[in-house]
Amino acid sequence: MPELPEVETTRLGLLPRLRGRALKRIVVRNPQLRWPVPDDLETRLAGLTLDTLDRRGKYLLFDFGVAAQIVHLGMSGSLRLVDPDEPAALHDHVDWLFDDGSVLRLRDPRRFGAVLWTDDVARHPLLAHLGPEPLTPAFDATYLHAQCQRRNAAIKQVIMDAQVVVGVGNIYASESLFHAGIRPATAARRLSRPASARLAAAIKKVLAAAIAAGGSSLRDYVGSGGEPGYFQLQTRVYDREGLPCTVCATPIRRIVQGQRASFYCPACQR
């Protein structure tokens, strides 16, 4: 599933190409995504100029001034700039045609993504209750420690909760906990202030490294130009069950939490 680094990589790739461009048309081939594409999407947005392209958690926000388009890539979606003459494939559900000839195409094989619009981003139900962005000053040791003190759940589940902090997906949660020296099953309320500081710093470090690497391409994800991400080549614990820890050579272990695989080093993480 595209997580924060993959979505941010997409945003960074699209922004210089599309900012300041007027949207001419929207072609919807299949409106049946996770939520139906609104019938009035083109009516609301066609003719408007894209002021900027923002991101909130895993949601891309196309800011057209009087309205914003919300795009979520779901489980396996991607947004790519394609040649205007490139035929649409089976899972290419939506095209955006801009005044300079640019064509932005949504490919979503599982149709778990979303294409919506809103005139009030802050109050939209999908966005209103999200936690802080992890790469901003709002997410720090003080905030994380306070959130953990109120929760008995395992720390990995807590940092993957979008109401606590957005964008820390399964890969990045396992990697962050390794860098912080904390086992994924540790009860959140047991984290000390120093441990919270290590974890907040680790989350920032891991996500920044993933963005620099173009995200992770474990299944279908590609960037806005069709290129894969390479962060999975840098992982220390994720998907390395039985392999030696890169720090101490202890075999990496795998457990299941909330139907998701977690990986950790039993020696480095306490």
Residue 232 confidence (pLDDT): 55
Calpha distance 125→218 (Å, rounded):
30
CATH architecture of the domain formed by 4-123: Alpha-Beta Barrel (3.20)
pTM of the model: 0.89
Where in the chain is CATH 3.20.190.10?
A: 4-123
In tens digits, the chain (270 residues) has pLDDT values of: 688 988 998 999 999 999 999 999 999 999 999 999 999 999 999 999 999 999 999 999 999 999 999 999 998 899 999 999 999 999 999 999 999 999 999 999 999 999 999 999 999 999 999 999 999 999 999 999 999 999 999 999 999 999 999 999 999 999 999 999 999 999 999 999 999 999 999 999 999 998 988 755 434 434 444 454 444 557 899 999 999 999 999 999 999 999 999 999 999 999
Catalytic residues: 2-3, 58, 260
The CATH code belonging to domain 141-264 is 1.10.8.50
Buried b (16+ CB within 10 A) or exposed e, 248-259: eeeebbeeebee
Sequence-distant (6+) residues with CB within 8 A of 166 are 4, 56, 57, 58, 130, 131, 132, 133, 134
Where in the chain is CATH 1.10.8.50?
A: 141-264
Sequence-distant (6+) residues with CB within 8 A of 79 are 10, 14, 60, 71, 73, 104, 105, 106, 107, 224
Sequence-distant (6+) residues with CB within 8 A of 77 are 2, 106, 107, 108, 109, 110, 112, 113, 220
> Residue type at 243?
L
- Residue 157 to residues 65, 96, 98, 188, Cα–Cα distance (Å): 36, 37, 41, 9
